[in-house]
Amino acid sequence: MIAILSTGAVNSVQDLGRTGYLDAGVGRSGTMDAPALEIANLLVGNDKGAAGIEVALFPFRLRFEADAVFALAGADCPATLGDREVSGWWAMNAKAGDTLTLGLPRSGARALLAFQGGLEVPLVLGSRSTDLKSAFGGLEGRGLNRGDILSLVDGPRKPLKMDGGYGADPSSLRGRPTGKDDVIVLRVLPSAEYAAFPAAAIARFHDTDWLITNDANRMGYRLSGPELSLTRKLELFSHGIMPGTVQVPPNGQPIIQLAEANTCGGYPKIANVIEADLWKLAQAPAGARLRFVMTDRDAAVTALRQERAFMAELAASVSLMRGWM
């Protein structure tokens, strides 16, 4: 069991999301940084989709009430287990009574914690992820509060044989952590109304370093920059939208839909951030700047294939390491 000692209500239990219910109006949810959760899960020997904790508000502290194996991934944040330092992208043993503390990230915005066995919360519509907007899933459909107790799924525990643990190097997948002033580059594909925007608006869309406003959460990010206007107003019927869809509402300031996006929307869509780059948004805090670079569908599929290959290789080397470490 795990006791939450300090947290914010935006920190929540998440897995890789809920699929199969978009046509009932139920969105994906799941962690904003799926590759990070997947890596953390693989490091502790879980299936990739086990439920962990997505931490977006720091400092975050929990106490292990029993021995456990955990991994930290995602944002680069200073972390300690008791008086020992904890590295990111690393799995280690925790003893009953140990306190894990995550401090404000040096880079990135969301840390992911995975625990061997995975968090035990009820499956709701096939997923353990919290849908904060609609208040179901996860722990009672809400974010974490101080004093919450989380259980781990029952099963045989295999503590790491070497107490220092082991880690993964995600740099081939994610590059180097970005600095505070770095512009985050997102690859996009054109979406339905891209061609309806005048050339000047398209140029502004690609040439601007868009500011992520404070109106940024798991549903989506509102951006600020020069106005993107259509030559004539488009009246669209409600249609399906995806995490990564970039909409342009009448005020000309784009919105990027994210993990808890509504399943349908009506605003014109200029582009979609490719699936393989969505994690970059999870790690982009309010105040960061974004740039949209056009790519093509082959490149977007290739990027996903590389991600899949990285995970397969990691899973194989973790099972080797777990044999002797």
Identify which range of 87-95, 112-120, 299-307, 316-324 contacts other proteins by CB under 8 A.
299-307
Contacts of 167 (CB under 8 A, 6+ apart): 43, 87, 88, 89, 90, 91
Site for other proteins contains 24 (CB under 8 A)? yes
Among 25, 82, 164, 287, binds other proteins (CB under 8 A): 25
Site for other proteins contains 104 (CB under 8 A)? no
Site for other proteins contains 197 (CB under 8 A)? no
Site for other proteins contains 324 (CB under 8 A)? no
Site for other proteins contains 22 (CB under 8 A)? yes
Cα 161 from Cα 69, distance rounded (Å): 11
The amino acid present at 68, given as its one-letter code, is A
Looking at the Cβ atoms of 31 and 257, the one nearer to other proteins is 257
Contacts of 66 (CB under 8 A, 6+ apart): 1, 96
Tokens of 210: 């868009």
Among 262, 285, 286, 289, binds other proteins (CB under 8 A): 262
Q: What percentage of the chain's residues is helix, strand, coil (to nearest 5)?
A: 20, 30, 50
Among 96, 134, 214, 250, binds other proteins (CB under 8 A): 134
**Omega before 285 within 30 of 0, i.e. cis:** no
| H or E segment and range at residue 53 | strand 52-55
Footprint of other proteins on residues 229-248 (CB under 8 A)?
236-242, 244-245
Query: Residue numbers of the site for other proteins (CB under 8 A)?
Result: 19-27, 124-125, 131, 134, 136-137, 189-192, 236-242, 244-245, 262-265, 269, 272-275, 297, 300-301, 304-305, 308
